Structure 1
Amino acid sequence: MKFLNTLIVVSNMQKSKQFYYEVLGLEVVVDMGTNVTLTGGIALQTKDTWAKFIRKRDREIVFGGNVAELYFEEDDFDCFIQRLNDIENMNYVHNVIEHSWGQRVIRFYDPDQHIIEVGENMTMVVKRFIDSGLSIEDTAIRMDVPVEYVKSCLESLKDRN
């Protein structure tokens, strides 16, 4: 058994493809009209075809349940937030918050009220704390993670360069 992707139901395929491209940079990998696969392992399915597949009536498909989210991480979180602020009519679950471990996140809805969370890449959280003057040990304490985790994040930054 192998997990392939997450499928979400959408009411307007064109609007959803545009949203996921413009906001999150996801591109269409396969477009079958009523079913579209995007980069990142997300598939979109039209509401009417989904209702047929699961043998339900269209009106039994309900959006906006606030029971799940699609989670993304962004290396340049500040730049992403600036870009997000330029998008008109964005429907936010909440503005930027910082979790107790230091990761900044924002949540918003897609056109069909699916929750999208974009969090600061955890390696970049480590970098932000180290750049602010915290030691490796202090960063581990601040983030409530092992020192080895902080060191592995710093090593991965070296590998990127």
Structure 2
Amino acid sequence: MKYTCTLIVVRNIEKAKQFYHDVLGLEIVADFGANVTLTGGIALQTADTWKGFIHKQDEEIVFGNNACELYFEEDDMDGFVTKLNTMKSIEYVHPLFEHSWGQRVVRFYDVDKHIIEVGENMIMVVKSFINTGLSIEETATRMDVPVDYVRSLLT
């Protein structure tokens, strides 16, 4: 058994391809019209085709249910948020904020109301704490994670 990718259902495949390229920098790996594979292990599937695949032609596909998210990490969080703020069509779940463990994140919706989370790369979070003078042990305490986890991010 091997996990291959996450498939999300979309209303308009062209708009979805454009969004994932423009906002997150994902590229098309394979385009079969109603099904598109993107870099990062994400596949897009048209809603009509999906209904046929799951044998639910008469049932509604529910978008915007806030039940899951696609998670990305970014090294340059400030640069990404600046870019995001220039895009007028972005609908935020919440603006940039910092979790208790020190990671900054922003959540927003894609064009079909799937939640996208972009979090600061955890290596960058650890390095930031180390650069302020915290030891590895103090960083682990500050982040509420094991010391071995902090060490693993520094190697």
Aligned partners of 1:147 and 1:66: how far apart in 2? 33
Which ranges of structure 1 fall in alignment gaps of 5 or more residues? 156-161
Cα shift at 1:151? 2.0
- DSSP 3-state at the match of 1:44: strand
Rounded Cα–Cα distance in structure 2 between residues aligned with 1:152 and 1:41: 24
Q: Paired residue for 2:67?
A: 67
Change (3 A) 1:133 1:115: same
- The one-letter code sitting in structure 2 at the alignment partner of 1:115 is I
Instruction: Tell me if structure 2 keeps the 8 A contact 1:47–1:58.
Output: no
Q: Is the 8 A contact 1:77 1:119 kept in 2?
A: yes
Relative to the length of structure 2, the TM-score reads 0.95
Alignment of 1:9-158 (within 5 A): 9-57=9-57, 60-155=60-155
Identity %: 68
Query: What per-residue deviation string (whole Å, max 9, x for no partner) do you get for residues 119-148 of structure 1?
Result: 111111001111222222211110011222
Q: Distance in 2 between matches of 1:58 and 1:28?
A: 31
2 CA distance for matches of 1:49 and 1:28?
Answer: 19
| Structure 1: 4+ residue segments shifted above 3 A | none
Higher helix share: 1
Quote the RMSD (CA, aligned, Å): 1.2
Aligned length: 155
Could you report, residue by residue, the CA deviation over 1:81-135 in whole angstroms, capped at 9, with x for unpaired residues? 1111111121000011211111111100000000000111111100111122222
* Cα deviation code 1:10-48 (max 9, x no counterpart): 001110000000111100000000000000000000011
- Partner letter of residue 77 of structure 1? M
Give SS of 1:148's match. Answer: helix
Question: Partners in 1 of 2:62 and 2:112 — Cα distance?
Answer: 9
- Alpha carbons 1:48, 1:58 under 8 Å: kept: no
Q: Once the 2 structures are TM-superposed, how far is the Cα of residue 58 of structure 1 from its aligned partner?
A: 6.0
Out of 146-155 and 125-134, give the one that drifted further: 146-155
Classify the secondary structure of the residue corresponding to 1:55: coil
